[in-house]
Copies of this chain bind each other. A is one copy, B any other.
Amino acid sequence: MAEPARVSSMADVATLAGVSVSTVSRALRGSELVSPETTARVQAAAQELAFAVSRAASSLATGRLNRIAVLVSGSLGAWFNGTLLDVIYGCLHRRGYELMIFRTFSAEDRDEFFATLPARRNADALIVASLELTGAQRQRLHDLGMPLVYVNQTVRGSASVAIDDVAGGEVAARHLINLGHRRLAFVRNHPRGGHNHSSDGRLTGFHRAVRAARLPTSEQVVLSGSGNADGERIVGQLLAQSELPTGLVVESDELAFSLLAALGRVGLRVPADLSVIGFDDHAMAATFGLSTIAQPLDLLGHEAAALALALVDGERPRRRNVTAPTELRLRETTGRPPEPAQPN
């Protein structure tokens, strides 16, 4: 940049408007203390210079960053992350807050985050989204001394917003059972080592429904891939069964899509031969007619943002731990099982 092209600051605006810097500061923030004429003059000057406040300087002076950090795991392009961030962005923007993103892919990323704590002193609050954390890590976040909100994860002593994965998994399975299915499978995904609370919860719900219906446990199976595109592998496991399950409860829609495509390739018809229900209500679920358990990302995002902002404002929100409802969204991939249910 040959010519630094000095960008105007409040001092320039002040000079142009013929007032002091303080007045500019007040006027631009709409203080009642400034006369309408002065305010107008200041605004005109600011406009003319295309002046924009330096948030860095302002933050330094006030101690408020006007920025909320969100820690996510996995690609920003992943459906869950992208959608959640979008909702949160909207809420924050409306309130004059910025969104700051921290992404972690690997355990190393996580370690780096916890070693450097970049959110500290650089955001007014931290939202932790769907991230599996160790106890020590949670403690460290707690010790940060900044407002903290967890999404899809309930942590003692911290604010949180989450869906009930167990209930969702239970409804998914129960709905198939009520349609007459007797042999079910739960399909899950075991990515890059480590637990996944959501997945675990959904499976727990699945088992609960199976038990409640007194279905023979031996006929209910759990299939697992190692990625959301692992449909082929799962179909392989499926076809290896002595008797094919007629209903599949899939941990997530993304995995269900892959499965659906793989089923189509081997000629299994859905739902004629096999019913499939996903989980999430991914944007593409409606397009492809996938029955699913909808997760209210809108609500999760809104509540998370609202909680964060409330905590920043020093409020004690009435409900620090919000549970958002899931909902069965029936479409075209689930139906009655192929043969009449045989009474065992």
Chain A positions within 8 Å of B, measured between CB atoms, are 1, 5, 7, 50, 52-57, 59-60, 65, 75-79, 81-86, 89-90, 93, 98-101, 103, 116-122, 140, 143-145, 147, 229, 231, 257-258, 261, 283-284, 286-289, 311, 314
Contact status of A120 and B85, CB under 8 A, knowing A261-B289, A288-B261: no
- How many monomers of this chain does the complex have? 2
A7: contacting residue among B81, B83, B145, B258, CB under 8 A? B145
B76–A86 CB distance below 8 A: yes
Contact A121 B284 (CB under 8 A): no
With a cutoff of 8 Å between Cβ atoms, the chain B residues found around residue A121 in the complex are 7, 52-55
Inter-subunit contact B118/A52 (CB<8 Å)? yes
CB-defined contacts of A257 to chain B, threshold 8 Å: 284, 287-288
In the assembly, what is the distance between CA of A119 and CA of B55, in Å? 10
Residues of B within 8 Å of A56, CB to CB, are 55-57, 59-60, 65, 122
B258 touches A287 (CB 8 A): yes
The contact of A77 among B65, B79, B103, B231, by CB within 8 Å, is B79
A-B contact list, 5 entries, CB within 8 Å: A1-B311, A52-B121, A77-B81, A98-B100, A261-B289
A86 and B93 within 8 A (CB): no
Q: Determine which residue in A84, A89, A311 has the highest number of CB atoms from chain B within 10 A of its CB, and name it.
A: A89
- The answer on a CB contact under 8 Å between A60 and B52 is no
Known: A52-B120, A56-B59, A287-B231. A82 touches B76 (CB 8 A): yes
